[in-house]
Amino acid sequence: MADFFAIEQESPMITDAAELERLDQKSQFHPFTSIADLAKEGPTVMTSGQGVRVRDAHGRDYLDGMAGLWCVNLGYGRTEITEAITRQSERLSFFHTFNGMTSDVVAECADALLKRAPVPMSRVFFGASGSDANETQLKLIWYYNNLRGKPEKKKIIARWNSYHGSGVATASLTGLPGMHNYFDLPKGPILHVSAPYYYRDAPEGMSERDFSRKLARELEEVIEREGADTIAAFFAEAVMGAGGLIPPPEGYFDEISAILKKHDILLVADEVVSGFGRLGTYWGSQTYGYEPDLITSAKGVTSGYFPMSVCFISPKVWDVIEGAAAQTGIFGHGYTYSAHPVGAAAALAALKLIDELEVVKNVADVGPHLMNGLRDRLGQHPHVGDIRGQGLMVGIELAKDRATKEGFPPANRTGREVLKAAAKRGLITRALGDTLVFAPPLVINRAEVDELVDKFALAVGDVLG
């Protein structure tokens, strides 16, 4: 790996921390940021990264417990990827895939991806973000049902607390009211059913399996109420990420999949976070044993080194689309940056590293180590209500009263206080309300996991005693 901390010293750019903070604050409109908080506290400016760590403009180092935004799965400073990007930029910096065009590296990348699919898939469709990939899926679903003579079958079911992106359709699909309010969303034929939030929503004493059955009954009631001939697809993350780190209760996907099959409803696996090893299997669907008809992936495919998304399309959907091609003519969908050759080179390098470094095996080892470490240190803490997750996707939900599960008043912003305390101790986490989340690079080792747990436990103590 290159020493990116050293490269930073040679950078010709502005290095004065206060100046960088000032420039950013007066010029950038930040995504998913409170304008009021930013005005008060200013931005945190990162300047370099190496392995599982990043450094800010003040020279402070942090263990990045979030792998950026759950994406830098192979860690920072991976020269295998940066050199592949450099070589490709020099050789062929761009070419497109419209009108049957492509590039060598893209052809190879598409094949490499299909070979890694969890179930047989016919084609991959490239984009540049998880949001645009889910937009593609929605359009494909509607296209597919029109072509197979079911134009009424259009409604999409997603879950409350889900996150599927930030576009008009994908934010509508997302089950987070904070992304709907003031934006005139949701739009379109979208329905939401309950999240599989066992800790908060399961009736007292109900087993996980029974809670899964309860949710399946709710889904079936919605389908029957609306009419199965009007429902096209169900979108699901394997473990809900941005909506509160919610893993499915036991048997959830068995129950749901059976209902979807019965009613001829497509299952779209949103594997934007869970794909490429995060849960300790290559795909989240393999952890829970379900078979998607469509898969959305992004983030880990290039380990965040280049914006790229990949939709996987099953034979069931592809055969209909291909079969109608003489009638439909040009497939009227795509992006300038669909299948960017530099992204494809980054993806090929990342896929190779995932195999060579045995990243999935590492997650299967350090994931439980992280969970055990958190439970040992914080499992009995009076203000830790729940510690949950799978692989390297873990959430710690705080509670004012551990016994009754009563939360802290939202105005206290307790989760955010813990996040700030962790940052002071050199650890990056993310606060989803009062659930603190970790999704570190998948190459993290046991010693680094121990450091993460230690810093986090101290930060919880700083705020909550």
Ligand X SMILES: Cc1ncc(COP(=O)(O)O)c(C=O)c1O
Q: Number of residues interacting with ligand X: please give it, by CB under 6 A.
A: 16
Which residues, numbered 53-112, are part of the site for ligand X (CB under 6 A)? Answer: 69
Q: Is 434 in the site for ligand X (CB under 6 A)?
A: no
Q: Is 131 in the site for ligand X (CB under 6 A)?
A: yes
* Residue 92 CB, nearest approach to ligand X (Å): 24
For residue 157, the surrounding DSSP H or E stretch is strand 155-159
d(Cα 313, Cα 319) in Å, to the nearest integer? 10
* Residue 132 CB, nearest approach to ligand X (Å): 7
Q: CA dist 367 to 7, 59, 373, 387, Å?
A: 32, 29, 10, 13
Label residue 442 exposed, middle or buried (CB < 10 Å: 0-12, 13-18, 19+): buried
Which residues, numbered 288-327, are part of the site for ligand X (CB under 6 A)? Answer: 298
C-alpha atoms less than 13 angstroms from C-alpha of 4 in its C-beta half-sphere? 19
For residue 424, the surrounding DSSP H or E stretch is helix 414-424
Q: Is 163 in the site for ligand X (CB under 6 A)?
A: yes
Q: Which residues lie across from 395 on neighbouring strands?
A: 388, 437
* Residue 189 CB, nearest approach to ligand X (Å): 19
C-alpha atoms less than 13 angstroms from C-alpha of 77 in its C-beta half-sphere? 17
Which residues, numbered 359-388, are part of the site for ligand X (CB under 6 A)? Answer: none
Q: Which of 51, 65, 130, 341 is close enough to bind ligand X by CB under 6 A?
A: 130
Q: Which of 241, 248, 277, 441 is close enough to bind ligand X by CB under 6 A?
A: 241
Intra-chain end-to-end CA distance of the chain, in Å = 40
Nearer to ligand X, 56 or 132 (CB): 132
Q: Residue 151 is which amino acid?
A: P
d(Cα 197, Cα 311) in Å, to the nearest integer? 27
Q: Is 270 in the site for ligand X (CB under 6 A)?
A: yes
Q: Is 244 in the site for ligand X (CB under 6 A)?
A: no
The secondary structure of residue 32, as a DSSP letter, is T
Nearer to ligand X, 65 or 241 (CB): 241
Q: Which of 21, 237, 255, 397 is close enough to bind ligand X by CB under 6 A?
A: 237
Using the Cα atoms of residue 168, residue 169, residue 170 and residue 173 in order, give the sign of their dihedral: positive
Q: Is 272 in the site for ligand X (CB under 6 A)?
A: yes
Q: Which of 84, 273, 345, 443 is close enough to bind ligand X by CB under 6 A?
A: 273
Residue nearest to ligand X (CB): 130
Residue span binding ligand X (CB under 6 A) among the ranges 113-121, 123-131, 202-210, 392-400: 123-131
Q: Is 117 in the site for ligand X (CB under 6 A)?
A: no
Which residues are at the interface with ligand X (CB under 6 A)?
A: 69, 129-131, 134, 163-166, 237, 241-242, 270, 272-273, 298
